[in-house]
Amino acid sequence: MTEVQVASRVPLDDYASLLGTGEIDELRALAKPLRGRSAQMVNSTAVGGGVAEILNRLVPLTEELDIKIRWDVMTGGNDFFEVTKAFHNALHGGPYHSRSEDFDIFLAYNEQNRARMAFDAEFTVIHDPQPAALVDARNDRSGHWIWRCHIDLSHPNSEVWNFLERFVSRYDGAIFSSPEFSRQLPFPQYLFYPSIDPLSEKNRDLDPEFIALVLSRFQIDPLRPILTQISRFDRLKDPVGVIRAYRIVKRYFDCQLVLAGGGAADDPEGAGVLNDVRREAHGDPDIYVLELPTWAPLEVNALQRASTIVIQKSLREGFGLTVAEALWKKKPVVASAVGGIPVQVIHKHTGMLAHSIEGTAYQIRFLLSHPEIAAKLGENGHQHVKENFLITQNLKNYLVLFLTLAGS
Ligand code: UDP
């Protein structure tokens, strides 16, 4: 395990201009009884993917409220991350080819990580399946252990879920990102929406000159429509499906497609998917397949802001932070009706939902030919994110949970 040092800090008071001082005062009041108490977050990657994105902002804000919080990341070899990626796909309802050694590898790395570190916080939050077996470190009933699940568990592969459930059921509670994702478990379950930070480099306002610079660096034409999907190169994000939808749209509109993504330390499948994407895109100079560094928040921000339409054509999704990021930037979004996306994209109000390649293309064509409706969706989307999916709300949820647990 390694303790993560977060990338940057924005003082809590800076959020007042956006949310009002009342919100910030409420956070400080809730945190008061928790001052000096300790919390620990554990996940499986410090960069890349939505969980790292959230923790990078949540941890410093919690610290600012005088709660002692540390964030640890599991270490593991390729064999571990291949197994956990297979589990991830299986828990999302995909096929799983059972190998008995998978379970041994999973347990061995959890044991290794457990032995390497102290678990002495009052509130321990373990994120996702990868570190779930760390609950073995809990040798007495002191401290509160919560499993924070970020993935869609509504139709899990039963072999993988049965294995995991042995560990999950030993926590004091679980947090899910959507009511449909929860399971029958012997303890309270909580609903926390994931969140974006409006003041982070990923989401803050940018100078138009910087956006223009990023486009010119990637040689993207600012004058023609830009369709964008930003995601890890992962089959469940369906980048090849995005290209096929774009090809249909291209028959009617002279547009460009940007597929941009970096890797995540806990995702070993990226290179293979990227190869498939390049093969599918081959020969079309209007498709930009951009391999970004894992940490490139300003570039991601600029590409989202430069987009005419943002696509998120996932086949399965936990929540899909990229959707909230695009809505915050007032972008019209066309996204699949999977996982946590429909919570964010309310069809015809904050964006357009689709269920297929053809449906995605249809909605993109509709929005390209109705820019006034596209602009309205973007405005509504921004408001929806402001009311529901900002980091301050997520922080409030954790504070209330810690207070509840402390009082139990
Ligand atoms: N992301 C990024 N660079 C990339 C691809 C994704 O910074 O090249 C970010 C993206 O902006 C979002 C997060 O990674 O903040 C992805 O979260 P999401 O919930 O959409 O998907 P996950 O990767 O967790 O499945």
179 lies in the same domain as 253: no
DSSP structure string for 47-82: SSSHHHHHHHHHHHHHHHTT-EEEEEE----HHHHH
| Residue 13 sits in the same domain as residue 87 | yes
**Residue 304 CA: which ligand 1 atom is closest?**
11
pLDDT for residue 1: 61
User: 25 and 147 in one domain?
Assistant: yes
Regarding whether 222 and 151 lie in a shared domain, the answer is no
Residues 232 and 378 in one domain: yes
Q: Would you give the distance in Å from CA 167 to the centre of its chain?
A: 23
233 Cβ closer than 6 Å to some ligand 1 atom: no
Looking up residue 295, the CATH number of its domain turns out to be 3.40.50.2000
pLDDT value of position 118: 87
Nearest CA to ligand 1 atom 11: 322
Q: Is the Cβ–Cβ distance between 286 and 250 less than 8 Å?
A: yes
Residues 178 and 232 placed together within one structural domain of the fold: no
Model pLDDT, residue 385: 98
Q: Which of 130, 148, 231, 291 to mutate to test the pocket of ligand 1 (most atoms within 8 A of CB)?
A: 231
315 shares a domain with 377: yes
As a 3-state breakdown, the chain gives helix, strand, coil percent values, each rounded to 5, of: 50, 15, 35
Residue nearest ligand 1's atom 10 by CA:
322
Statement to judge: residues 135 and 248 lie in one domain: no
* Domain membership flag for residue 244: yes
Looking at the fold, whether 107 and 177 belong to one and the same domain comes out as yes
- Beta strands of 256-403 (E only): which ranges? 256-261, 287-291, 309-312, 333-336, 352-354
- Tokens encoding 75: 């270490």
Residues 6+ apart with CB under 8 A from 398: 39, 58, 62, 125, 192
The pick from 128, 300, 333, 390 for probing ligand 1's pocket by mutation, whose C-beta has the most ligand atoms within 8 angstroms, reads 300
Pocket mutation for ligand 1, best pick of 316, 321, 325, 336 (most atoms within 8 Å of C-beta): 321
Does any ligand 1 atom lie closer than 6 A to the CB of residue 230?
yes
Same domain, 9 and 128: yes
The response to whether residue 401 sits with its C-beta less than 6 Å from ligand 1 reads no
How high is the mean pLDDT in each 10-residue block of the chain (408 residues)?
A: 75 95 97 98 91 95 97 96 96 91 98 93 98 91 93 95 97 96 95 96 97 98 98 96 98 98 81 95 97 92 98 96 98 97 98 98 98 98 98 98 92
CA 52 – ligand 1 centroid, Å = 9
Quickly count: other Cβ atoms within 10 Å of residue 213's Cβ. Answer: 12
Helix (H, G, I), strand (E, B) or coil at 126: strand
